[in-house]
Chains A and B, each alone.
Chain A
Amino acid sequence: MKLTLNVWRQPASQAPGKLETYTLDGVSADMSFLEMFDMLNEQLTLDGKDPVAFAHDCREGICGSCSMMINGQAHGPWKGTATCQLHMRAFKDGDIITVEPWRASPFPVVKDLVVNRASFDRIIQAGGYVSVNTGGARDANEILIGKDLVEESMDAAACIGCGACVAACPNASASLFTGAKITHLGLLPQGQPERDKRALAMVEQMDLEGFGHCTLVGECQEACPKGISIDVIKHMNRDFMKGTAMRREPRSVVGAG
């Protein structure tokens, strides 16, 4: 098939960007979207032009690197699919496809379609973990976790950190991402001791980074390539409210350094 691509080009973070138009012929329906971009880049390189910079790595929908806004939809038209998993049979001969990076101020554009998502790591740094050092853990089977509970936790833990939720949200909220980690750990027995603190700290960091607030639009859930449910936002809100009500000044730290 022959396609017209309108691709966002931006040479540097502080430089202005714009959409540039390319035509690409000979695209096979079996190709993945990114293999189509590889084809475009081979063509551009052979023509002496600068190839399009785009983020990608695993090409199997699990690393969360790929991040293209395709015709206004984060990761394109297929539900539960990351950009790298989208295949060209989703399109037909003559289609016009507009490709842009994620738009959100906590995701500054680095170049072309590549954005910097360090803000996501900083939200995890704020509390997206269980504070346990290596060694000294008790036997794994001493913690009983019911099957249904672990399945619900796993549903939330499946988040790949791609940021589609942010890109799809009109408020550029990171609530689905933050809620997913809060839910994964907040459901499990291991996550209970720090549950309140975790929610408060992660929500605070999310706000500090400049993500918007959640107004329950629900676009995030539709865009998420892993099908994460907005139920995780419910868990986040509940833990945040309880954490706020239970908030105390931290005691001084004692013990061996």
Chain B
Amino acid sequence: MLDLNSKIPSGPLEQKWDQHRFSMKLVNPANKRRHSVIVVGAGLAGASAAATMAELGYQVSCYVFHDSPRRAHSIAAQGGINAAKNYQNDGDSVRRLFYDTIKGGDFRAREANVYRLAQVSVNIIDQCVAQGVPFAREYGGLLANRSFGGAQVSRTFYARGQTGQQLLLGAYQALERQISLGNVNMHTFEEMLDLVVVNGAARGIVTRNLLTGKISSHAADAVVLATGGYGNVFYLSTNAMYSNVTASWRAHKKGAAFANPCYTQIHPTCIPVSGEHQSKLTLMSESLRNDGRVWVPKKQGDQRAPSAIPEAERDYYLERKYPSFGNLAPRDIASRAAKEACDDGRGVGPGGLGVYLDFADAIKRLGKNTIAERYGNLFEMYQRITDENPYEKPMRIYPAVHYTMGGLWVDYNLMSTIPGLHVAGEANFSDHGANRLGASALMQGLADGYFVLPYTIGDYIASNKLEKLDNTHAAFRSAEESVRAQQQRFLSIKGKRTVDSFHKELGKIMWDYCGMARTREGLSKALTLIPSLKEEFWSNVNVPGSGDSLNQSLEKAGRVADFIELGELMCRDALEREESCGGHFRVEYQEDGEAKRNDDEYAYVAAWEYAGENATPILNKEPLVYENVHLSTRSYK
């Protein structure tokens, strides 16, 4: 069993972070350059952390498996970033953003972490603007805002439908500046394949160079994983093709608890699947729901073109079911409502798996030019993929896997159960509870990287006497050997099936049994299917080529092997949690079609401990204590 200590500071909620910053130890400016930090991943969380710590004077080494840090999937985030600026004078405040986020997470997130997130959100916008991020502005020159799901205030800052791109470029540019100053040692095409733990502390990583196949190890005083989410366990998701769980999973096997893996987010508005060949799903930003109206025909099996269906025969079901939030109901609720409508035979498009997102009213009200200005690039994206024009015909959308609230467990300092191993951004189990609100992932990644880690890593370094070591230490040698052995094993199996075929099969099992609606039977079945799949994978996968040059199949093999194991843990976690909350919906636990939580028995974080190959993982529970919010039924009616 693990000793889970969240290290939440005592005192009133509003003062916890300020008090903590005062009580944390500092590293003397002249001493910072004697300490090294490894950052794996350079998306929003990784690039901001690496750049900021380099600015402070630490020796930073950063590793990405892409050809450049600018390729991180943060680049694809579309709609916007929340901050409690209250520029719109509509009632926003740090406390309201905190409350909306806790409620949006269905009361399964840590109060103190979420309050801090809301508190530093205002600094994030200031930092981004200072870097030259071109947020949208009003005519008078002030920043513009829009609304996002789960909020009744307009607090989202955006740059067209490319907010993630612009925020990432701000952090990437800050990182590149530090590289040019010699303060960051940047490694591209370098994939982390193991964590090295020495005397109980994380002291480095083992990597494989994707161009040469060379396995090498790297030592440091502290390690940060900012390696993103695991949505690709479902094969089809809005993630990029290379997004994977490997860095987190290898750390998990070395002792980092994995928290709430079954909390996965299905985004309601994505472009529907067009065929068996589909390789990924494309997100249509939630910001579209500011102006688009979601509807399906009232009649089952209605094949008429949307323009032929009169208003009276349309079911604007989000507006009907949730009058106070309407089309901006949070993602988990909107996704389930879409699934319900399609299961009821009222879906649209090929296969009946789609609902309409209609802009006709908005275009009539605001004019085509305004709509184009707000969503131009998204409309173009949709048209290229479907060959349909959303200015004239309603968009067809369907829910798709998008984000993972679960991840490596971290305390208030963003440190995992392995001392020295810190986790930031989507990779940690973080602040979103059982459901993330739109425009808060960008907020969390940058909060972690710019304003939390630089303090807490300093405290870790100043508080611990770290033995001097380098990558010649025995622990590094042995980690390298086991990584080499695994690479060799993949290449030697020479089975009959491709890596992708296993990935697809895993994805189907996960979507069918651990997707939007989960049952005891389904999850138990998945827990028999996945071990068989794992056995077949290790005896029948074919990885062509050799390990000493660019080999994309070999790279994928490692990632799929880890996904298979993660999938099993997710199903176990979903089976164990006998309630419905946020993105985790158990058909057996619902009331009037809405998720039914069981706060008496399940108000805890499920932190899973790896117990060894083929051994049952151990469940550790971190109780969630709410001192500042009242646990109510989460209603958006």
List the interface of chain A (C-beta within 8 A of B): 11-12, 28, 30-32, 34-35, 38-39, 42, 45-46, 48-51, 53, 55-65, 78, 80-81, 85, 87, 89, 110-111, 114, 116-118, 120-121, 124-126, 128-135, 137-141, 143-147, 150, 153-154, 157-158, 160-161, 184-185, 188, 190-191
Contact = CB atoms under 8 A, between A and B. Distances in A.
Contact of A134 (B51, B125, B137): B51
A38 to B, nearest CB: 6
B240 A46 contact: no
A137 B127 contact: yes
Contact of A117 (B68, B143, B501, B542): B68
Contact of B275 (A30, A124, A126): A30
Given A110-B211, A110-B550, A135-B123, 9 more contacts: A35-B277, A42-B500, A57-B240, A58-B73, A63-B73, A124-B173, A130-B131, A154-B166, A157-B169
A51 B131 contact: no
B450 A128 contact: no
Contacts of A145: 134, 137, 141
Given A59-B279, A153-B134, A126 B180 contact: yes
Contacts of A59: 240-241, 279-280, 282
Given A135-B127, A143-B129, A45 B544 contact: yes
A45 B498 contact: yes
B155 to A, nearest CB: 13
B132 A188 contact: yes
A183 to B, nearest CB: 11
Interface in B142-194: 142-143, 159-160, 162, 165-166, 169, 172-174, 176-177, 179-180, 188
A48 B142 CA distance: 60
B380 interface: yes
Contact of B123 (A35, A64, A126, A137): A137
Contacts of B160: 154, 158
B385 interface: yes
**Secondary structure of the A contact surface, majority rule:** loop
27 contacts: A28-B275, A45-B542, A49-B544, A51-B544, A57-B242, A58-B73, A64-B70, A65-B71, A80-B380, A118-B188, A121-B68, A121-B69, A121-B176, A124-B172, A128-B176, A129-B173, A132-B127, A132-B174, A133-B55, A134-B48, A137-B126, A141-B87, A150-B136, A154-B166, A158-B160, A160-B165, A185-B132
B279 to A, nearest CB: 5
Interface size class of B (residues with CB under 8 A): 35 or more
Interface string B388-412: 0000000000000000000000000
A117 B67 contact: yes
| In the complex, the 8 A-B pairs of residues with the closest C-beta atoms, listed nearest first | A144-B141, A129-B173, A137-B130, A125-B180, A137-B126, A140-B129, A57-B240, A111-B550
B563 to A, nearest CB: 17
Contact of B165 (A51, A116, A124, A158): A158
B241 A11 contact: no
